[in-house]
Amino acid sequence: MDKSVDVVVVGAGTAGLVAARDLVRAGSDVLVLEARDRVGGRLLNAELPGGSPIEVGGQWVGPTQHQVLTLIEELGLQTYPTHTAGRHIAELGRSRSEYTGRIPRVNPAALLDIVQTQLRLDRSARKVVRTEPWEYDRAGSLDAQTFDTWLRNHAHTAEGRAFFRMITEAVFAAGPEDMSALWANFYIGAAGGLDALINVGNGAQQDRVVGGTQAIALAMARELGERIVLDSPVTDIEWDDTGVRVRAGGATVRARHAVIAIPPPLAARLRFTPGLPGDRDQLVQRMPMGRVIKVNVAYDEPFWRAEGWSGQANSDRRALGTVFDNTPFAGGPGVLVGFLEGRHADAGARLSPTDRRALVLEDLAGYFGPGARAPIDYIEKDWAEEEYSRGCYGAFATPGTLTRFGPALRRPVGPLHWAGTETATRWPGYIDGAAESGHRVAGEIIRAPAAAAPDK
């Protein structure tokens, strides 16, 4: 395939598909090259016994995620609420709390410490997102330390520190020692505060998409039709002020503009000629992916509901630190979804599949009783093993990255435009952030001065 178009999009995840959709609607000739044999990127459905779809990738949407909610409505899809009725479980330190509402019962000193630390964190995060994070007047001091250092300086009880480690692993699929405190503050501020990130009701986990979230990508792909070419991993991009030449296998695509809509570590593996500016290259060298193994465990019915549990559980001492009721819209089979995140994913990936399954079922039984040891299906996805993702939920910035190279995150390089959830200004790391980035790069290209047509 040798082809000339106005815009070539690298990657058929949410960001790339949104960009392509906008550009086609604006009258551009667009081609999307996707390395996988499917669309969706980090959105992926599997199938449960009986045929219901289940998400093995990103899955939730929340009430302030306006970009993705608008997209869902435009595509004719529907959402439904995450199941929350019943008692939740929280294990923190040596204690186990079964509770309803938002706040587990912990000792008063620890609760005060958690509340005060969150107030400081939310206040700091609000200040960071008033500008580009690297322009914040205290950006240097925040970016010079890990988020773990920040937390140790502000949380003063063992339970408080354990709580924020547990939350960091659940949100970023990484430890607080892995990332810049400036990145953590920006990420939290860009979501509207920590509660928006960790809550179900009025938070990021409030709703699910009927048919699974990959339905979003599949619906956009149906609109774009033959403009999407699967099984086409891009390896080389030649560029200059007049356009790009993109190579995928034995095919070459010429275009005025290219949208690079893949995670930063994968963008770093492409061969650019000429090489990218140093700031851009240094940036992506310092943005690793989080690491998560997502597990859906299916049962004949959601037995935990009959026993009064919601299916929601968190623990600072179990490998399966976060669990939700993931029963599909049809109501069955019953499904619990859990996550091995960060260091727990590291350790879990080194186990045999049999031992990893045993570990997961033991943790579920520890939460919900012996009935959890007898599933009818077990579906897991290690996103670090996914060749064209190499991790989840998203990339994050290590200390010193944003203040030194942050402006290169979204800044075009000649005809090259950078999309992906990590480049978003609102809800980075989420489907909403990916949609925002797709709209942004499409707008950049639509507003760009006209260039000569690519060579035929």
Residue 451 has pLDDT above 60, yes or no: no
> What's the rounded Cα separation, in Å, for the pair 456 and 55?
42
Closest CA to 220 of 441, 13, 34: 13
Higher pLDDT, 249 or 39: 39
Residue 454 has pLDDT above 60, yes or no: no
Which amino acid belongs to residue 214? Q
pLDDT for residue 103: 81
Q: Yes or no: say if 332 and 339 are a contact pair by the CB < 8 Å rule.
A: no
pLDDT band of 426, cuts 50, 70, 90: very high
Q: Yes or no: say if 439 and 282 are a contact pair by the CB < 8 Å rule.
A: no
Compute the average pLDDT of residues 395-403. Answer: 98
Compute the average pLDDT of residues 66-73. Answer: 98
Q: Yes or no: say if 148 and 175 are a contact pair by the CB < 8 Å rule.
A: yes
Residue 416 has pLDDT above 90, yes or no: yes
User: Tokens 């480690």 identify what position?
Assistant: 165
Start-end of H helices in 192-316: 194-198, 214-224, 264-267, 278-285, 303-306
pLDDT for residue 183: 98
Query: pLDDT by residue (tens digit) across 81-121?
Result: 999 999 999 999 889 999 998 888 888 999 999 999 999 99
Residue 401 has pLDDT above 50, yes or no: yes
Check: pTM over 0.95? Answer yes or no: yes
Residue 455 has pLDDT above 90, yes or no: no
pLDDT for residue 106: 86
Average model confidence (pLDDT) for the chain? 96
pLDDT band of 452, cuts 50, 70, 90: very low
Query: pLDDT by residue (tens digit) across 16-64?
Result: 999 999 999 999 999 999 999 999 999 999 999 999 999 999 999 999 9
pLDDT for residue 250: 87
Query: pLDDT by residue (tens digit) across 265-291?
Result: 999 999 999 999 999 999 999 999 999
Q: What angle, rounded to 10 degrees, do the helices at 158-172 and 147-154 form?
A: 150
Query: pLDDT by residue (tens digit) across 160-213?
Result: 999 999 999 999 999 999 999 999 999 999 999 999 999 999 999 999 999 999
Query: pLDDT by residue (tens digit) across 131-162?
Result: 899 999 999 999 999 999 999 999 999 999 99
pLDDT for residue 102: 82
Q: Which one-letter DSSP state was computed for residue 100?
A: S
Q: Which one-letter DSSP state was computed for residue 323?
A: E
Compute the average pLDDT of residues 123-131. Answer: 94
pLDDT for residue 131: 83
> What's the rounded Cα separation, in Å, for the pair 72 and 210?
10
Residue 432 has pLDDT above 60, yes or no: yes
Which amino acid belongs to residue 165? R
